[in-house]
Amino acid sequence: MKYPAQVLARHMPRWFTLVLAVVGGYLTDLGFPDVGIWLLAIAGVGMLFLATMRDAPAWNFLIGLVWGLTFFLVHIRWAQYAVGDVPWVALSVMEALFVALSMLAWTYVRRVPVITRRAGLQAIAFALVFVAGELARSAVPFGGFPWGRLAFSQSESPIGRLAWLGGMPLVSLVAAVCAALLALAVGALGRFNLLRAGSCALVAVAAIGVGLAVPLATQAESGTLQVGAVQGNVATPGLDAFNHRREVLNNHVAGTYALLDLVAPGDLDLVVWPENGTDIDPQVDADAATAIDDAAQAVGAPLLIGSQEFPETGGRYNVSLLWEPGVGVVGRYAKQHPAPFAEYIPIRSLVRPFSSAVDLVTNDMIAGTEVGIVNLDSPRLGRVVKIGDAICFEVAYDALVQDAVAAGAEMLVIPTNNASFGPTNESTQQLAMSRLRAIETGRTTIQISTVGVSAVIAPNGVLLEQTGLFTAEQMVSPVALRTSLTPAVRAGEWPARTVLAAATLLTAAGVVVSIRSRRRTGQDAASSAGAAKKAAAKKAAARA
């Protein structure tokens, strides 16, 4: 039995399915910031569903590759700005291959008879395989690269609110189900089956709207902190933005003093700086220590500053240091997930012939080993407040953020450095992730960047304050501290594990069905050939 989209696909020339893949990949990117029309991301994935309706594994692998290349080459164009053409293309190709493998698996999954016969199961199975591909590329190779997950396009969608229930895997899954249902509706329209088209579309709309029923609380549960955030800016964007490290430090020191235009000394409980707010380690540089401590004493609050540490054994750590006025460093978090080929270079000797950009990283970053928690001793609250810290790209990794909240984080800080990416949309893509993390964890989240975009985000994902790009700005905001754990944090990695297990089982079932079908076809052919031989022998005997 052919379902509507398959019937429509039989009338599609192959060149048209390639067009669908290209348009779908491009539309999907438009669902992300800066354009940010989230429904376009769903439509783009729906086009991928339609384009892969031919029962041809190799062709659907190609369709997935074309869709993936179109999407990623546009979506991570900021990588080209930062590190050049070869790394940008190589990363895009690697990510696109995961989409291609997912669509190869989907070809086999839909051969399972129960899936072939039921439109609802087709939509769910497609979504499981698609999201499993996202999860796989978020984990491998070299720790994975989660950028461009469908969930990250849904920060302003009702679907995004489902992050509170099941994190990013659930958001991506529901969005992909909606995409497949809308594609099935189009397939039914192609056959003038208005009842099937209407029912699929109605279920898709209901799935989109179900997030509105999710209760997203924002009130403080354990008091509030008055937090200042400093976006110091840099003189020039790009890879050379931090060639003048003292100037960048001075910009953030000046921004800290500028907070006194908004508050009186002692009014703040904490001031946060971005990643690389000072690339001069104040633990070893006396001038940097003096400048930072003078600023901290002027505002009368500890500073959470982004810096680097250079151990004697070699390498470097990307750290957030909690600086107490008159005391110095009293807390520390080291980035657990350095970015491969950006903060450290794996297989350096193999990569160098393809791009000299690897030599821009002269000192590889070392991974920290502790959960992202910084303990702030708050005199006003009379207790220690646990601050969750995820540095830069770490916001894209589910476990790092969830582990911090499970360990007691009452708010989240995402210190980041977007200067290397210039005027691209990398910063707003990252902001969308931070908004979803706020929903997922039920925590007020502050994304603070060297150059923007920085923001204060309520636990329901609403932007409370936001800065511009490549500006020197400050923000002051009361932060609601929360201690309750959302279902997503309690579930941890189980939603992802469930999706991966289900997709694996479905793929295995599809492969088994295909093998059995091939054997039956071979047996039938052999039987037919045997019968023909017997008939021919009888005729020959009769003639004799």
Q: For residue 194, which amino acid is it?
A: L
SS (H, E, C) 384-403: EEEEEECCHHHHHCHHHHHH
Cβ-contact 341, 310 below 8 angstroms: no
Residue 427: closest CA among 406, 451, 411, 410: 451
HSE, side-chain direction, 13 A CA sphere, residue 370: 14
Contacts of 261 (CB under 8 A, 6+ apart): 474
Cβ-contact 328, 300 below 8 angstroms: no
134 is an active site residue: no
Strands 383-389 and 411-416: parallel
Helix, strand, or coil (residue 106): helix
221 is an active site residue: no
Tell me the β-bridge partners of 224: 480
For the chain, first and last CA: distance in Å?
Answer: 48
Q: Using CA atoms, how far apart are residues 104 and 106, in angstroms rounded to an integer?
A: 5
CA distances from 267 to 262, 298, 375, 432 (A): 10, 11, 19, 30
Site of tokens 């000192």: 363
Q: Using CA atoms, how far apart are residues 282 and 457, in angstroms rounded to an integer?
A: 30
Buried b (16+ CB within 10 A) or exposed e, 310-340: eeeeeebbbbbbbbbbeeebebbbbbbbbbb
Annotated catalytic residue, options 335, 343, 386, 410: 335
Structure tokens at 531: 């019968």
Burial class (CB in 10 A: 0-12, 13-18, 19+), 373: middle
Annotated catalytic residue, options 134, 178, 200, 275: 275
Annotated catalytic residue, options 178, 392, 394, 440: 392
Q: Using CA atoms, how far apart are residues 299 and 31, in angstroms rounded to an integer?
A: 41
440 is an active site residue: no
Tell me the β-bridge partners of 448: 415
Cβ-contact 280, 274 below 8 angstroms: no
Contacts of 168 (CB under 8 A, 6+ apart): 149, 151, 152, 398, 436, 440
Residues taking part in catalysis: 275, 335, 392
